């Protein structure tokens, strides 16, 4: 599948943000921590959510999705083994390890391995489980962790890993005694997970700071919980508005979650008004060049790096982007180059010399955020762009094409078009 975009139309109107993918996935995994039913609302309809539902079903949970709501209830006895095929498809499946270990005393989850944006090891997750008394071994490609009863521990994370903080927090929720995570990730999605677990009866303090304290409780109970809006989706639409000289209201967003991104878009020359749950953005000029450095929250999010690079390609000058979170997250640069962008990669830095206009082309999405970046480039480019590999976009953006169309973009979802394949519009 692909997206066909006829560029050059300013985006105008209102767009509604769905629930945060990166909050939904760990929270769904956290539902394993109770025998009661759990209902999670505002869950976006995404491929990654479907994959997590499949993982949960495979380990014995009744998991049903309808109307943006995911219901999880205990089915047969939990099978503490996650299937290779699903974990291979989505690394976030690894988030079932902590809850399984806490509930079953054992968990077997395939080694997630590397992916398109880098090595992405899980050593910090495992270090946390070991500190809580688990034995960890690797057998036939599976990581196997065992602990009759997890014990509270002091855990220092070398890197404030989002996934490790979440996995350890979930395991610690049912452990004996207190666990302290030092240098914890402060992302809003970590806070949402802590709030969700507390609503189930957990005792977690310090979510959103670098020191999280979890006092283990005997059991957790069922809950109905609504997750936070997706700040990465909101950032993507804000950048799209800025790139197309548009005027857009983004609804269902928590502006404080977007401080770093909005600061940069303002620096580019956009007018931004923050409401309580909305953001108005208007751009009247070509973007000024800006430099960004990706960092853990509250720094500039690595997930917005690719879309932001698309914006820099049409800035009136040279911008520098430093990627410090993942080591190999510039695959979109080469594809943007096919549209006329001038980007030089120098180690962890991308030097982007802005051009007045990009030219539509056929490009390939290599991962989720790269797919978003190429689509934004297509919206601002002259002529037609075809972004191939939309399955990546569907992993993380709900109704992406429909929402862009709602803002007046000339965009359709299609089978890969043969016009480009015949080479007519190929640069
Ligand atoms: C989560 C997000 C992803 C986002 C990333 C960083 C989800 C489902 N995904 O991914 O969209 O891009 O945070 O904001 O929430 N690392 C280690 N050892 C570990 C774990 C991580 O070295 O055990 C390294 C990683 O290789 C990476 C850095 O830490 O360089 C940050 O990764 P991490 O925060 O764990 O990202 P994820 O939780 O996988």
Q: Which domains does the chain have, with CATH numbers?
A: 2-18+229-414 (3.65.10.10), 21-226 (3.65.10.10)
Q: What span, in angstroms and rounded, lies between the C-alpha atoms of 289 and 67?
A: 42
Atom of ligand 1 nearest to the CA of 185: 34
Give the bridge partners for 182, in sequence order. 156, 211
Give the bridge partners for 281, in sequence order. 248, 272
List, by residue number, the catalytic residues: 115
* Residues near ligand 1 (Cβ within 6 A): 22, 25, 91-92, 118-125, 159, 161-164, 185, 189, 302-303, 325-326
CB 220 within 8 A of CB 197: yes
Residue nearest to atom 26 of ligand 1 (CA): 120
| Choice from 159, 183, 397 to test ligand 1 binding pocket (greatest atom count within 8 A of CB) | 159
Closest CA relative to residue 6, chosen from 381, 308, 333, 317: 381
CB 38 within 8 A of CB 71: yes
Chain centre distance of CA 161: 13
- Give residue 117's pLDDT: 46
Ligand 1 centroid–CA 119 distance in Å is 10
Q: What span, in angstroms and rounded, lies between the C-alpha atoms of 24 and 39?
A: 11
Ligand 1 centroid–CA 161 distance in Å is 5
Over the stretch 391-423, which tens digit does the pLDDT of each residue have?
889 889 999 999 999 999 999 998 755 555 434
Q: What span, in angstroms and rounded, lies between the C-alpha atoms of 295 and 308?
A: 14
DSSP-H helix ranges across 69-187: 84-89, 97-104, 123-131, 162-172
Closest CA relative to residue 182, chosen from 151, 152, 155, 209: 155
Ligand 1 centroid–CA 181 distance in Å is 16
Closest CA relative to residue 7, chosen from 244, 183, 215, 245: 244
| Choice from 162, 322, 397 to test ligand 1 binding pocket (greatest atom count within 8 A of CB) | 162
- Give residue 426's pLDDT: 38
Residue nearest to atom 4 of ligand 1 (CA): 303
H or E segment and range at residue 203: strand 203-205
Residue nearest to atom 12 of ligand 1 (CA): 303
pLDDT beneath 70, residues of the chain: 76, 113-120, 416-427
- Give residue 427's pLDDT: 34
CB-based contacts of 161, cutoff 8 Å, min separation 6:
124, 125, 185
Ligand 1 centroid–CA 93 distance in Å is 13
Over the stretch 185-244, which tens digit does the pLDDT of each residue have?
999 999 999 999 999 999 999 999 999 999 999 999 999 999 999 999 999 999 999 999
């Amino acid at each position: 599948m692909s997206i066909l975009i006829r560029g050059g139309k300013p985006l105008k109107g209102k767009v509604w943000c769905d629930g945060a993918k990166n909050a939904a996935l760990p929270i769904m995994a956290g539902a394993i921590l109770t025998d009661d039913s759990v209902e999670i609302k505002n869950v976006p309809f995404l491929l990654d959510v479907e994959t997590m539902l499949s993982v949960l079903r495979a380990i014995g949970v009744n998991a049903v999705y309808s109307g943006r709501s995911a219901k999880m209830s205990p089915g047969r006895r939990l099978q503490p083994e996650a299937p290779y095929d699903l974990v291979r498809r989505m690394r976030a499946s690894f988030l079932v390890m902590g809850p399984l270990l806490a509930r079953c005393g054992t968990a077997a989850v395939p080694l997630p391995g590397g992916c398109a944006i880098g090595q992405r090891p899980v050593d910090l997750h495992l270090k946390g489980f070991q500190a809580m008394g688990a034995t960890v071994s690797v057998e036939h490609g599976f990581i196997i962790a065992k602990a009759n009863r997890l014990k509270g521990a002091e855990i220092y994370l070398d890197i404030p890993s989002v996934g490790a903080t979440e996995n350890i927090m979930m395991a610690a929720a049912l452990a004996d005694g207190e666990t302290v995570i030092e240098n914890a990730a402060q992302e809003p999605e970590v806070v949402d997970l802590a709030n969700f677990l507390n609503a189930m009866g957990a005792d977690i303090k310090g979510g959103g700071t670098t020191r999280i304290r979890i006092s283990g409780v005997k059991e957790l109970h069922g809950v109905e919980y609504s997750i936070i809006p997706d700040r990465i989706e909101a950032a993507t639409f804000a950048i799209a508005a800025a790139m197309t000289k548009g005027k857009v209201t983004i609804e269902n967003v928590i502006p404080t979650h977007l401080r770093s991104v909005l600061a940069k878009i303002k620096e580019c020359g956009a007018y931004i008004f923050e409401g309580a749950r909305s953001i108005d953005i208007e751009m009247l000029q070509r973007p000024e060049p800006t430099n960004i450095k990706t960092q853990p929250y509250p720094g500039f999010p690595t997930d917005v790096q690719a879309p932001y690079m698309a914006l820099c390609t049409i800035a009136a000058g040279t911008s520098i982007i430093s990627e410090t979170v993942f080591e190999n997250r510039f695959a979109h640069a080469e594809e943007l180059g096919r549209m006329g962008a001038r980007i030089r990669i120098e180690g962890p830095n991308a030097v982007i010399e802005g051009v007045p206009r990009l030219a539509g082309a056929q490009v390939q999405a290599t991962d989720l955020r790269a797919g978003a970046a190429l689509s934004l480039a297509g919206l601002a480019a002259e002529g037609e762009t075809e972004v191939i590999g939309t399955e990546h976009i569907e992993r993380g953006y709900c109704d992406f094409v429909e929402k862009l169309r709602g803002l007046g973009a000339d965009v359709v979802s299609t089978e890969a078009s043969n016009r480009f394949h015949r080479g007519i519009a190929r640069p």
